[in-house]
Amino acid sequence: MLAMDPSRAMMPSGRAARSSPAGSGKTSSGVDGVGNLLLARLSPEDRAHLEPRLTPFEFRLGEVLQRPGEPVDSVYFVDRGLLSVVASDRNGETVETSMVGREGASGLVAACGVGVPYMTHLVQIEGAGRRAPAALCRGLFQSSAAFRDIVTRHTQHVLAETRQSAVCQAMHSAEGRCARWLLESGDRAGCGDLVPLTQEYLAAMLGVQRTTVSAVASTLQRAGLIRYSRGRIRILDHPGLERASCDCRKAVKEFRETVLALT
């Protein structure tokens, strides 16, 4: 069952949103001191071409960055936080098909392809990052073999995660999927053990009713794996939560680390 679209009551579009104040581009560091791992893998030449046009950007909860069928004018690189890529039915109900965290970028595949996304991209966990003009990324894709390789790897990861999500929705329990989602969120958002997320949003991402999420969260909490309080979930036992997660967790993580050269 699909859950209600959490973006309905949120900001209408990332295009009307704001960049961070000047000079606030300092972000949590990742590989080579860069928060976003995709940007960190750029060649020196591609980085020199792209970085002067990057602008700091704040991700606000529920903000819609990309809409289906609308031209992509910006690519968003996540330094901290988490974006969800969601599919909707004609009633406006949604289910998550993939995530975008520090390993990737929102709008990059569309910007370097047909120019319009097929699904909605919205902010699931607040944070910060940088955005670049889509036309700049498209030009770099056309001129740089190294950048094309990075985009191709990113695309492979997105496709693999989307396909695995279909398997996960059809075959795995809500408890296993919830455990997987919490682990993936902590890994990719840069938020560590504390995942700032309400049951309503988690229900929308998992495609289940809120009562189901409440029951699952209670089970995981009684097992000593998490603590849930006031819209925040703290992971208490990583190994235990890994054991509770479905098989998709290991499959997607291993493929991501291989195809994106994260190890």
86 and 157: one domain?
Answer: yes
Reading phi first (left if > 0) and then psi (alpha if -120 to 50, else beta), residue 231 is in: left
Taking only the tens place, the pLDDT of each residue in 117-167 is: 999 999 999 999 999 999 999 999 999 999 999 999 999 999 999 888 888
| CATH code: domain of residue 191 | 1.10.10.10
> What is the distance between the alpha carbons of residues 229 and 237, in angstroms, rounded to a whole number?
16
> What is the distance between the alpha carbons of residues 95 and 20, in angstroms, rounded to a whole number?
30
186 and 224: one domain?
Answer: yes
156 and 245: one domain?
Answer: no
Q: Return the C-alpha torsion angle 57, 119, 105, 132, nearest 10.
A: -50
46 and 163: one domain?
Answer: yes
255 and 159: one domain?
Answer: no
100 and 219: one domain?
Answer: no
Using the predicted structure, report yes or no on whether residue 105 has a pLDDT greater than 70: yes
> Which of 144, 145, 165, 169 has the alpha carbon at shortest distance from 255?
165
20 and 145: one domain?
Answer: yes
| Number of domains into which the chain is organized | 2
7 and 94: one domain?
Answer: yes
217 and 163: one domain?
Answer: no
93 and 71: one domain?
Answer: yes
27 and 153: one domain?
Answer: yes
Look up the pTM and report it. Answer: 0.84
> What is the distance between the alpha carbons of residues 81 and 66, in angstroms, rounded to a whole number?
16
* C-beta neighbour count of 222 within 10 angstroms: 9
> What is the distance between the alpha carbons of residues 114 and 151, in angstroms, rounded to a whole number?
14
Taking only the tens place, the pLDDT of each residue in 156-200 is: 999 999 888 888 888 888 899 899 989 998 889 988 888 888 777
> What is the distance between the alpha carbons of residues 29 and 45, in angstroms, rounded to a whole number?
20
Phi/psi at 92 (nearest 5 deg)?
85, 10
Residue pointed to by tokens 């080579």: 32
Residues of the domain holding 73: 3-168
133 and 236: one domain?
Answer: no
Q: Three-state SS string across 107-150, please?
A: CHHHHCCCCCCCCEEEEEEEEEEEEEEHHHHHHHHHHCHHHHHH
Of 125, 147, 168, the residue that ends a domain is 168
> Which of 131, 116, 130, 10 has the alpha carbon at shortest distance from 64?
10
